[in-house]
Structure 1
């Protein structure tokens, strides 16, 4: 490197998706890296080095998912890879830190292990202990265990846990797809005799799935495990020790019972040294289990304990029960340290919220979410469930012996061990808390797969939730391997239904195959997001048949007009105006939603086929999209630029999906959307599918003030209403907790659902302003929207191209915009009211004069409703005055029934209220006008 060359640092190098382990699932892993260098530096080539000597030369600036340039990896042979990069002048960077790489996969014909379990179990889902003795010869150079389970396992060598994953191997599309772990045991297996033990619970495999008391086991009644240990000698020869009939099993370990929904019972009086070389009585030969599935290697990180949360508050009741508050709604389980007499039973119940000071267990439905711990009485004992998890902020302990020290209990937070990539900050404290609530909801629901909720008798991979949240998920965390693995499950389940994507993946509900718009479209939307955010061509290529099959399955069920009508749909699920017991009853016609999604999916298939150079498919689906667009516009948009369903979701989907492209028509639709939002006094009027599109559509229409009022609304329903009620995660319903403090009476009421948190993607892309303009963030779009109520907003994302930072702040009468572009990218900048322009890597700053906000004028009983709604201070004054005179319930009804976009004077719209309201309003608004001078 020449003396003039600026310092160049390889920030990160990884093989395939995982950074938490050396194992890769393919013998030809792709390599990715990012570079940190001075502005103006550009990669013109690279060298990859294997094991310090074998070097491969690469030309160009590729640095994301670069093809493996060496011979294919062989199982259990460890390597180290590093990279250095070159600029156009021939200057080289230093070599990066080396990254370990090893093939963690076995070929199908190399899998020898039989699935084994307990012979003669006494009850369904009975926990099992299994063991075998291993004699490790002197001179062994490596020991690698491949292990999977129909259930959840923990493995031990001589009583020492072999890794830190929990609930392994997770949940996949059984019985068609099962993953295995690859674990290096070399350090735990010196020469001599050892005991390999496996503790097995039922996990997701033996769980009962279904609603309304109709739960049933769809996979199996008993857990089983398959494992094989490969010992390698110095000469390269090896020995394989695999599960089979020679293993021993017993069903009377300390875990008495275990279930995902029910919780776990642990009895320390049944503890035993079950890994000792001397066998206790009671061990019997294991039973082999038929399982027609060949496990495949893990591609996504496993579930782990990520952090511990201390007790924030503890209250002991008169009857001895102890109520714990952890200050944060989280997902995981409790770890207890306790001392007491043998036989003492401690019962732990969990809940997300309190009702009249007690655990609110109603929202759990049939999930008991209860752990029971029985003391042995031999000193300080530690308890922690291993085969279950709970969603909770509060826990209740019954039976605690003696005095209680809050430090003796901690909450163990668990989720898939994803790498955090996104951060957002603004001048609005409630907005920042909303962002953190979304982060916590994602953490709790990205547990082995993208679930809907973590607490009740569900916790399933609902496809609609997963697709609408994918853009936000990919801002907050690196979900490339996580979603990639789940998409394989989706394709497997889809194949069982002739191209129809089931409502949930894995498909344990086994409902009859029926396409549902917005849910089945996970097949097209998520691969497109993976391409946009990570430039992962392999996922796009692998999933293209699934993408096509979904669109084809929908089209086969339509009439000749290509309108998706007359079929079962979830629609704009959980519209805030839907009755609690009818969550699919939304303001927007289901045909509008479904046909809009058909257009979007056809468009995404065409684009994916174009990326993959399949010209025929690209043309086929582009033509289909054009036909659907024509049918949509003809059927659902009037000549006066009104949607047949005059509801926010109808306009938002039409605009953000680019169904309408004519600028004049788009402007009129955007204006009408703003009127719809104004009509409800800037309260949310959308459900699951409309909500992610709402702010984008408003900002595209240059309705910045409307977007500002909508985003920062704190009354119910709104994004910030739950925050004002103390929420620390995102709720399933806009009003999961009603304004009067009672729990929504609907049968579905979760306080941890990430779906409505999909707005966070908009906070990054449109409020702070940073988003991808080309796959893998090779080009950045910087299009910030300075909201009038904010003083600053900024975001940072660690992208495939490097770290991107951007945002704005108000400073001395100006708005200062700032953008940091990594060396692996350039940017298109669109500042408000200006034509776009391009910039290269480096830090950029622009200052523009801020437009002063208009001074609010006088208000009174003659002021039109739309002017009252547009004046946040006046609107609050009106609602407060009505509340004071007529009560909260009457004020809420008045707010909900009023058309706040109307030019009608305020005095003409209060005739249904008590006479005293008029006087109170006149006095309140008069006082406000006087204060304004």
Structure 2
């Protein structure tokens, strides 16, 4: 049946949105891009054109888009003004003649769009003048409250309240908290970019009814003490301050503004006695005076207009937020209450998470309850050493007025366990709930497999992302750091952008990166925002966030405007590195993180990796340059595309000449060296690729399939093995459970990704390194490979207008289900292996196509299909391992034994029993080699113990022979 035979009801514009999914209610621009999804049962449906209509007041305008464009379509009408509104709708026509009705009208609203629309000064409250009081205030980190009263003079047509702060604010109006966002305005590069938020408060106001407009402002990130090793200091200048404006439009069209000024009242006293990101929050219910809620109440002193520094006074600094807001996302009930060996009351929530506790509590006046938080237990007690100087402690002091529900509002913690001290009465499970807090991004990607441990690994990656996407992409959410480390998000962006629509969240963060980079003459700081006192230094993989994060976002979301916004940042970084590399195009010398946290590095020196940092630096120089050339091509900058393309070719030639021997060995004969050379497509010639892939596989086997990569190599190694023809080794590496490996933490009960491969040692003790986190997503970047290779969903063109569906078999996995909500709709892939029969069902959304590569086929044999449900079945018997009982002898190579889990485990158990420590070091030393027969590897083993090895092999062979019958 042709598409033209479908009536209008067969095609529907099911979703329509402006700007990004998950954005705040109020637009951050007057020219929002438009995107829509189409639902239809018509197979192979492609859009031929679309009609866009906008309605403002009684007037309507229309615009026709020719072709398939349905994502990030540029606004075709006159820009919306500040405090403007409009409605928009879309209808589509298919290439075969089918057509939809118009979609429902989607409402668009703007608040203030920039500094030109902002008239509210910042206000503050004078702090104590006595030196002792000032010191005490510095330690206590008290909050500041502000209030004013307002009476609408007529019927209100609309009212928009907008605010920002030097600190973290919570607004109240007419007796209730405004909005559901928390930790606003978040953390940005405050000196260059301070975001504000807007809220519709129309239903809070009525003619002639006086209301209280108020706010509580805590120090938050603005006044946090940043640093390392106990050397902490505030970075941003000036006191806690608030700027807010309420714009009321009456039914008669007149407008009234209420803005922060010296007519407001303020106080540094209140129920939130102290609050800080690292220390936690202290709340005293006895001081809860309701002055922010009750008309006629007063604060003891007037607020004062805070005079901004010349830098802070730059009007361009104030911008509307466009990232998805931070919200309370989920509640997690307490799983068990138990007593530690020292007698402490501990609560386990069963999941390492980020947020805070919510209490249902009835405490006598003056009764203080203390809540301490930690991710793990050590010796049965709260494991607080990894927190370093972060107290991560909240306190609640009762007022004796009965039960209340309370939770902190101006801090957050990373924890699975809480220690509760001085609870009034007997603590019950239903009196305490964990509140999960992070940016409210749209969840898009899912993956399930037949292997429960891989599913747990994927869940750990997801929870690690959730815990570290709180206002900015942090390294960890629990200790005295929580910084936007650029290297971590650089390697993790592809994974994150499958799990969630990260375009708004990371797009906003990239604006801060560009601002910090501009201050540093093109150098990208290690952390963004950058509150550290030391001048930024260029470092590979970390600085390359400037190029590779926007490149990954364009690959996944295809937003040309977003790519264009970051293009200058991309070129500026490449130019900085080009100057450092010089005429030989090799970036050598100077400080580098290198393959950070290579598992062979000692706890006290995580940069001491096996791979030469110069190899990492030059490889990243190539990758950034090549991707910048591609960005230039996409954006139509032909001269730049040519220049950076030629530079990339020169870097690649220099890399191969300097670091790859004629025989195909890397000058650093280590896992990451091969992974990065293959993964970044520096080695591409087929024979050289096969040679490098074989050597990488040999290294993986010789180290007992234990992981040998750090931050740089980990995202690349499985892809590199598959590209090098070693897919079976990639799966065996993924499924290893010994330490270090991806699954080792799961055997230890982990529910998030750890910072170190051995953050917790096999004996249950915490790694002795001072830098140990149990919620650090970087090493979870392998999930990108899992999502593409096991789930089978990858972008075949930017934004998934073409989807590559190519599941890879291996690791004994017999089924998988993956789905991804792209802008076009949901791609759904399910596959099952039943004996030699492989079956695949793929659902491709309208207005896209897919290339399906079945197991055993090459990409050149991909089957091109259109939208709709597609089913495939193929015999894969030639790809499956042949099950056979391997007979082991003293001549069997160690490389074969190590791949035989039963034999390896038994042999290592025997070595432990007889005290043969040389053999117990084979994994660490990389001794499980192809050319090493077992018998000739037992150096310095007494003859009677050699005989025991022979006896072990004979017994194992006999057992297997019986099983085979």
State the TM-score bracket (shorter-chain normalisation).
Answer: over 0.9
Q: Which residue number in structure 1 is paired with residue 131 of structure 2?
A: none
Q: Which residue number in structure 1 is paired with residue 927 of structure 2?
A: 899
- Within the alignment, does 1:930 sit opposite 2:924 as a pair? no
Q: Which residue number in structure 1 is paired with residue 350 of structure 2?
A: 327
- Within the alignment, does 1:254 sit opposite 2:250 as a pair? no
Q: Map of 1:708-723 to 2, 5 A cutoff? A: 708-723=731-746
- Cα pair distance change 1:272/1:839, threshold 3 Å: same
Q: Which residue number in structure 2 is paired with residue 870 of structure 1?
A: 899
Match of 2:871 among 845, 856, 862: 845
Q: Which residue number in structure 2 is paired with residue 817 of structure 1?
A: 840
Q: Aligned with 2:228: secondary structure? A: coil
Q: Map of 1:592-631 to 2, 5 A cutoff? A: 592-631=615-654
Structure 2: 5+ residue runs without aligned partners?
129-133
Deviations 1:876-931 (A, max 9, x none): 332233334439x8775343235112322223323356777545543443333223
Deviations 1:356-386 (A, max 9, x none): 1111110000001011111111111222111
Taking the aligned partners of 1:497 and 1:281, their CA distance within structure 2 comes to 43
- Cα pair distance change 1:6/1:241, threshold 3 Å: closer
Q: Which residue number in structure 2 is paired with residue 95 of structure 1?
A: 102
Match of 1:180 among 184, 196, 205: 196
- Cα pair distance change 1:863/1:570, threshold 3 Å: same
Deviations 1:753-777 (A, max 9, x none): 0000001110111222210011110
Q: Aligned with 2:715: secondary structure? A: helix
Q: Which residue number in structure 2 is paired with residue 40 of structure 1?
A: 44
Q: Is the 8 Å Cα contact of residues 263 and 369 (structure 1) preserved in structure 2?
A: yes
Taking the aligned partners of 1:892 and 1:387, their CA distance within structure 2 comes to 50
Q: Map of 1:125-204 to 2, 5 A cutoff? A: 125-191=141-207, 192-204=209-221
Deviations 1:407-452 (A, max 9, x none): 1110110000011000001111100000000000000001101000
Taking the aligned partners of 2:55 and 2:951, their CA distance within structure 1 comes to 81
| Residue 36 of structure 1: how far off its partner (Å) | 1.9
- Within the alignment, does 1:535 sit opposite 2:558 as a pair? yes
Q: Is the 8 Å Cα contact of residues 543 and 573 (structure 2) preserved in structure 1?
A: yes
* Larger deviation, residues 369-378 vs 231-240: 231-240
Q: Aligned with 1:691: secondary structure? A: coil
* Number of corresponding residues: 932
- Within the alignment, does 1:27 sit opposite 2:30 as a pair? yes
- Within the alignment, does 1:105 sit opposite 2:112 as a pair? yes
Q: Which residue number in structure 1 is paired with residue 908 of structure 2?
A: 879
- Cα pair distance change 1:434/1:917, threshold 3 Å: farther
Q: Is the 8 Å Cα contact of residues 15 and 36 (structure 2) preserved in structure 1?
A: yes
Taking the aligned partners of 1:503 and 1:536, their CA distance within structure 2 comes to 26
| Residue 704 of structure 1: how far off its partner (Å) | 1.6
Q: Map of 1:303-322 to 2, 5 A cutoff? A: 303-316=326-339, 321-322=344-345
Q: Is the 8 Å Cα contact of residues 224 and 289 (structure 1) preserved in structure 2?
A: no
Q: Is the 8 Å Cα contact of residues 81 and 101 (structure 1) preserved in structure 2?
A: yes
- Cα pair distance change 1:556/1:438, threshold 3 Å: same
| Residue 588 of structure 1: how far off its partner (Å) | 0.4
Taking the aligned partners of 1:818 and 1:262, their CA distance within structure 2 comes to 51
Q: Which residue number in structure 2 is paired with residue 276 of structure 1?
A: 294
Q: Aligned with 1:198: secondary structure? A: strand
Taking the aligned partners of 2:665 and 2:729, their CA distance within structure 1 comes to 19
Taking the aligned partners of 2:942 and 2:628, their CA distance within structure 1 comes to 58
Structure 1: 5+ residue runs without aligned partners?
none
- Cα pair distance change 1:303/1:4, threshold 3 Å: closer
Deviations 1:257-281 (A, max 9, x none): 1110000111111010213122246
Taking the aligned partners of 2:117 and 2:836, their CA distance within structure 1 comes to 70
- Within the alignment, does 1:117 sit opposite 2:124 as a pair? yes
Q: Compute the TM-score of the two structures, normalised by the length of structure 2.
A: 0.94
Q: Map of 1:381-780 to 2, 5 A cutoff? A: 381-780=404-803
Q: Aligned with 2:657: secondary structure? A: helix
Q: Which residue number in structure 1 is paired with residue 67 of structure 2?
A: 60
Deviations 1:519-550 (A, max 9, x none): 00000001111111101101111111100100
| Residue 181 of structure 1: how far off its partner (Å) | 0.1
Match of 1:910 among 925, 934, 938: 938
Deviations 1:74-94 (A, max 9, x none): 222332222221113443213
Q: Is the 8 Å Cα contact of residues 18 and 33 (structure 2) preserved in structure 1?
A: yes
Q: Aligned with 2:369: secondary structure? A: strand
Taking the aligned partners of 1:776 and 1:608, their CA distance within structure 2 comes to 14
Taking the aligned partners of 2:870 and 2:404, their CA distance within structure 1 comes to 58
Q: Aligned with 2:529: secondary structure? A: coil
Taking the aligned partners of 2:926 and 2:116, their CA distance within structure 1 comes to 69
* Larger deviation, residues 277-286 vs 442-451: 277-286
Q: Cα RMSD between the aligned structures?
A: 1.8
Taking the aligned partners of 1:318 and 1:671, their CA distance within structure 2 comes to 51
Q: Is the 8 Å Cα contact of residues 797 and 804 (structure 1) preserved in structure 2?
A: yes
| Residue 505 of structure 1: how far off its partner (Å) | 0.2
Q: Aligned with 1:44: secondary structure? A: strand
- Cα pair distance change 1:434/1:892, threshold 3 Å: farther
Q: Aligned with 1:23: secondary structure? A: coil
Match of 1:861 among 874, 890, 897: 890
Q: Is the 8 Å Cα contact of residues 118 and 251 (structure 1) preserved in structure 2?
A: yes
Taking the aligned partners of 1:29 and 1:412, their CA distance within structure 2 comes to 33
Q: Aligned with 1:24: secondary structure? A: coil
- Cα pair distance change 1:281/1:133, threshold 3 Å: closer
| Residue 612 of structure 1: how far off its partner (Å) | 0.7
Deviations 1:448-483 (A, max 9, x none): 010000000000000000110000000000000011
- Within the alignment, does 1:376 sit opposite 2:404 as a pair? no
* Larger deviation, residues 139-148 vs 891-900: 891-900
Q: Is the 8 Å Cα contact of residues 262 and 302 (structure 2) preserved in structure 1?
A: no
- Cα pair distance change 1:671/1:6, threshold 3 Å: farther
Q: Which residue number in structure 1 is paired with residue 87 of structure 2?
A: 80
Q: Aligned with 1:230: secondary structure? A: strand
Q: Which residue number in structure 1 is paired with residue 10 of structure 2?
A: 7
Taking the aligned partners of 1:718 and 1:864, their CA distance within structure 2 comes to 23
Taking the aligned partners of 1:548 and 1:856, their CA distance within structure 2 comes to 57
Taking the aligned partners of 1:916 and 1:31, their CA distance within structure 2 comes to 77
Deviations 1:732-761 (A, max 9, x none): 000001112111111110000000000111
Deviations 1:632-662 (A, max 9, x none): 0000000000000011111111111111221
- Cα pair distance change 1:743/1:221, threshold 3 Å: farther
| Residue 2 of structure 1: how far off its partner (Å) | 6.3
- Cα pair distance change 1:412/1:755, threshold 3 Å: same
Q: Is the 8 Å Cα contact of residues 525 and 604 (structure 1) preserved in structure 2?
A: yes
